[in-house]
Amino acid sequence: MRVFKDVLMLFAALASGIGATSIAHAEAITVEGVYAARADLPPDIELVLVDRFQGDLGQDLEFALTDVLGGVIIRGEPYFDLITPNVLQTAEVTVDGNDGTVTTRPLMPDAELRGSMHSEVIEREMEPRYERECIRRDEDEKCVDWREIEIECRELGSGRTKPTFEV
């Protein structure tokens, strides 16, 4: 903290020496980037194959991942191109060679997402509940004889999900 205060004092002294009418000029450059400084840069992943996700909640996870990845916009353009296995089966890329030749090859994704999402409901037996049931009524339809019936009770706990996926 002391060093910071000393730097501020030095800056204030220099600024007062420049004078009120002087204008400071400096070169400026704009630095733009997708990754933070000192970041381990990931491989270039642009084309992503989103495979079918298995399980009772697999389709929900698949849609959520597709929405998130499809929503990544950098400089006004989608960052990822998302494809399905059906598209991959028939897709080809045309490559222009340095010698003027044109070849086609199968499209290869940079990454593939697949996995599963399963839900689990936790069920637990509880003490039974007892209710009275009318078994005989009089001529005025009033109950004159009852029996006690046992009602089985179960508690359904909040379910949990188990997602798994591979990249």
- Helix/strand/coil for 116: strand
- Of the candidates 115, 109, 114, 93, the one whose C-alpha atom is nearest the C-alpha of residue 43 is 109
Q: For residue 48, what pLDDT is reported?
A: 87
Q: Print pLDDT tens along the chain (167 aa).
A: 333 333 334 334 433 343 444 455 556 665 556 666 666 656 678 888 888 888 888 888 888 888 888 888 888 888 888 988 888 888 888 888 888 888 888 888 888 888 888 877 788 888 999 999 999 999 999 999 999 999 998 887 766 666 665 66
Q: For residue 72, what pLDDT is reported?
A: 86
H/E run at residue 89 = helix 85-90
CA distance 87 to 125: 49
- Of the candidates 159, 158, 157, 163, the one whose C-alpha atom is nearest the C-alpha of residue 57 is 163
Q: For residue 6, what pLDDT is reported?
A: 39
CA distance 135 to 56: 45
